[in-house]
Structure 1
Amino acid sequence: MGLIVAIGPKDAYVIRQSLLGRHLLVMMGICVGADVALIALGTLGLGTIVARYDWVMQAAAIGGALFLCWHGLVALRSAMGETAVPDLSNGADISLRQVVSATCVMSFLNPLALLDSGLLIGVISGTKPDSERLGFAAGAVSASVLWFALLIGGARVVAPLFRMPIMWKVLDFAIAAIMFTMAFVTASSVLDRGIPNG
């Protein structure tokens, strides 16, 4: 739960899209499905294998930090620009194809998601007896379902507040701060472990 419950780029996208209220079940299905696939790969041994090679973990962490910085800059630029309040009554003009493609990119091409849901959960699973790994994976998947249900449901509850332009600025500033903080923490974990010489 600790690895899944964190506001990363995918979670920030889910919050924004949930406020608009379009194609939410499809978006949730892709998010959870991606976590299921990554958790399955990790618990089947990928995480344990990769953990033997520090440079792979470090490359994933550096990629994740850069990915977070990029999303932080996008959110900061949005917060500092002119804010146009989307029409929350009809979810704006967002197609199913746009939601599917954006959610897939955030789920499968996000180095931080690969690091957390695939590698780290896989490494933790590798420390458990074979008889407990299936239950551990099921618990991780349950945490993913609960987290995205809370994100989407919570965003819909507070959606009326986002009829005010200032709230979109507050959201974007908050997302930018979280992205930069997580990028710093992720990069620091690489520096703490040190870069291997060969």
Structure 2
Amino acid sequence: MLSASGYLQGLTLGMGLIIAIGPKDAYVIRQSLLGRHLLVMMGICVGADIVLIALGTLGLGTVVARHDWVMQAAAIGGALFLCWHGLAALRSALGEIAVPDLSNGSDISLRQIVRGTCVMSFLNPLALLDSGLLIGVISGTKPESERLGFAVGAISASVIWFSLLIGGARVVAPLFRMPVMWKVLDFTIAAIMFVMAFVTVHSALAGGGSV
């Protein structure tokens, strides 16, 4: 039987870590606006979080946390990943506007969506740090009777967040028939990426690997 206390703690922590616009979320928002293979994309996003959270709670996070240099390397790698996506968004915002056809997402294949979502889920250092390491480390501090509930709570947060993210994007999709909205989106994403990159590096270096 799941521990209600562990579940609520995992749900709360998961929402705190997951609800932030990172590279994976920015990718999901853009593809959701275009209506491209949404169920497949959501399945991969949540499935990836399940894998990472499971690995973390089984002990990987606690083992890695014992080595400060690994945590710092993950944070710096995450910051570089953020900067790369920030620059891509900035370049798109400053370039010529080409409004996609929101009524038809057939110009991108299912294989491309699967590949792109997997890259954002498994090769994103920030996702590894949050879902795999931090949740795993905190899970290791819980009594064994609460760990399963804690993991399920964190997974529930992922399901809730990506459901809201994808559903919300589809609701506001009509606004993105205006070219200026794509520039606003890209400028916003670029700003978030750069701020998060700075905070990630500052926290890692100032906190001795604690992010």
Specify the TM-score bucket, using the shorter chain as the normaliser: over 0.9
Mark the runs of 5 or more structure 2 residues left unpaired by the alignment. 1-14
Question: How much does 1:92 deviate?
Answer: 5.0
TM-score by length of 1: 0.97
For 2:10, the equivalent position in structure 1 comes to: none
Question: How much does 1:22 deviate?
Answer: 1.3
For 2:68, the equivalent position in structure 1 comes to: 54
The amino acid that maps onto 1:19 is: L
User: How is 1:11-160 mapped onto 2 (pairs within 5 angstroms)?
Assistant: 11-160=25-174
Structure 1, residues 32-58: CA drift from partner, whole Å, max 9, x if none? 000000000000000111111000000
Distance across 2 between alignment mates of 1:21 and 1:194: 42
Distance across 2 between alignment mates of 1:194 and 1:31: 30
TM-score by length of 2: 0.91
Work out which of the residue numbers 167, 183, 191 in structure 1 matches 2:197. 183
In the alignment, is residue 9 of structure 1 matched against residue 23 of structure 2?
yes
The amino acid that maps onto 1:41 is: L
Instruction: Confirm or deny: 8 A CA contact 2:24 2:121 kept in the other structure.
Output: yes
Question: How much does 1:194 deviate?
Answer: 4.1
The amino acid that maps onto 1:46 is: L
The amino acid that maps onto 1:55 is: W
Distance 1:94 1:140, change over 3 A: same
Question: How much does 1:152 deviate?
Answer: 0.2
Distance across 2 between alignment mates of 1:22 and 1:120: 31
Question: How much does 1:193 deviate?
Answer: 2.4
Coordinate RMSD, CA, aligned: 0.9
Distance across 2 between alignment mates of 1:46 and 1:141: 17
The amino acid that maps onto 2:70 is: V
The amino acid that maps onto 1:34 is: A
Distance across 2 between alignment mates of 1:149 and 1:62: 29
Over 6 Å off, 4+ runs: none
Mark the runs of 5 or more structure 1 residues left unpaired by the alignment. none
Instruction: Confirm or deny: 8 A CA contact 2:68 2:208 kept in the other structure.
Output: no
The amino acid that maps onto 1:38 is: L
Identity %: 87
The amino acid that maps onto 1:47 is: G
Distance 1:92 1:81, change over 3 A: farther
